[in-house]
Amino acid sequence: MKASPDKIATPPAPPLPESARTLPVPVGSPAAPRADAGAPPDTVAAGSASQVEDIVRRALPAVVSLRSGNVSGSGFFVTDDMLVTNEHVVSGHTEVLVRLYDGSQQIGRVVTRQAAVDLATVRVERSSGRHGVLTLGRLGDVRVGQEVLAIGSPLGIDNTVTRGIVSGLRTVTGITLLQTDAAINPGNSGGPLLDRRGLVIGITTMKLMRAEQLAFAVAVDYAIPLLEGRQSVLPTQSSLASLVPGVRSDDQPSELDVARVRADRMFSTSLTRCRKLTEEFAANFDRYTAACAGRRTDWLVPFGSPGGSGTIQTANESTPTCRILWSDVTAAAQDIKAMIRDIEERARQAGVLPGVMRDLLERYGLEEVAAAANR
């Protein structure tokens, strides 16, 4: 049976917290297919276990590549116009470039996001309906040892499929993760982890945990509140463990995990503001380069650092416009430097470990800016 594209088809929901109960997600009517077009790709719906080839054939048209700034990742359609992806893939952006299975590109608008579970939803405004739609499973049906498939765009290579098993179920800082030995690489982030029925049981991520030969996916249940326009109210570890009868989940958050969460809570507002200033700086710098530089310009120069080989070393202030643009660029750079140094000093005084702060800066896309600010 095919699932209607204007609802998220889900199996019966497990006893989730109030914030994660499954409700239909209201969406607009899908666009009618052209008369000369073939039938749309099959929706991947609940059913018995299928051959891997059949699951892949039906799922691939629902998986997309996303790009926001210099960050790329994956996502997948759960309705005709709504995608699920990782929050770190769209972090700091309100719009992203979406490349569909057929190679066409569209602009997607970030609708909801929750950094704590590294999930976000993106709406494609001009959906043609010529793509697949994946069906959400539930954590309560997941069993350690079951076979899974991961689909995404690792290292920019679209439509890549890897195969493995669920190696374990882990609770980290109150979030249930599916550990898998299916290969997950940069670019896979935000793609679906499917069971043998073609149901999404997790969203692959590279940000919540990073360890050699270990791959993780966020349990799909956390996506449901976001699709309803709400934030997940994260349950306690014990209530998460109760979602998976017969599987013991006794992993306590490590000191490093606790430190990361504490630092994020302390500095998320400042880092978000700094990220916004950085985007404004980049826009002003691009305008200056286009209008005044005349040749390749190193963005480190406004921060007081020497430019790289073949770049201008000083400002071109030959016209009033160029002088104004350069003044805006250098002022923004100095504001960013001051903010980064203030955040790092407050973190030092609060006892935040340098490695934790580096991870946090990387998560907000500020690692290069921080390095430039401290030169």
Residues labelled catalytic: 88, 118, 189
Q: Rounded to an integer, what distance in angstroms lies between the CA atom of residue 216 and that of residue 328? A: 43
Task: Name 372's Cβ contacts closer than 8 Å, sequence gap at least 6.
Answer: 299, 300, 303, 305, 337
What CA–CA distances, in Å, run from 182 to 145, 178, 227, 265? Answer: 12, 11, 26, 32
How is residue 73 annotated by DSSP? Answer: E
CA distance 128 to 105: 11
- Residue 288's alpha-carbon distances to 285, 329, 361, in angstroms, are 5, 8, 26
How many CB atoms are located within 10 Å of the residue 153 CB?
A: 26
Q: Taking CA 283 as the corner, what is the angle to CA 278 and CA 285, rounded to the nearest 5 degrees?
A: 90
- What distance in Å separates the CA atoms of residue 20 and residue 246, rounded to the nearest whole number? 22
Distance, in Å, from the CA atom of 115 to the CA atom of 97, rounded to the nearest integer, reads 20
Of 102, 32, 112, the closest CA to residue 62 belongs to 102
Decide: 270 and 276 in contact? Cβ < 8 Å.
Answer: no
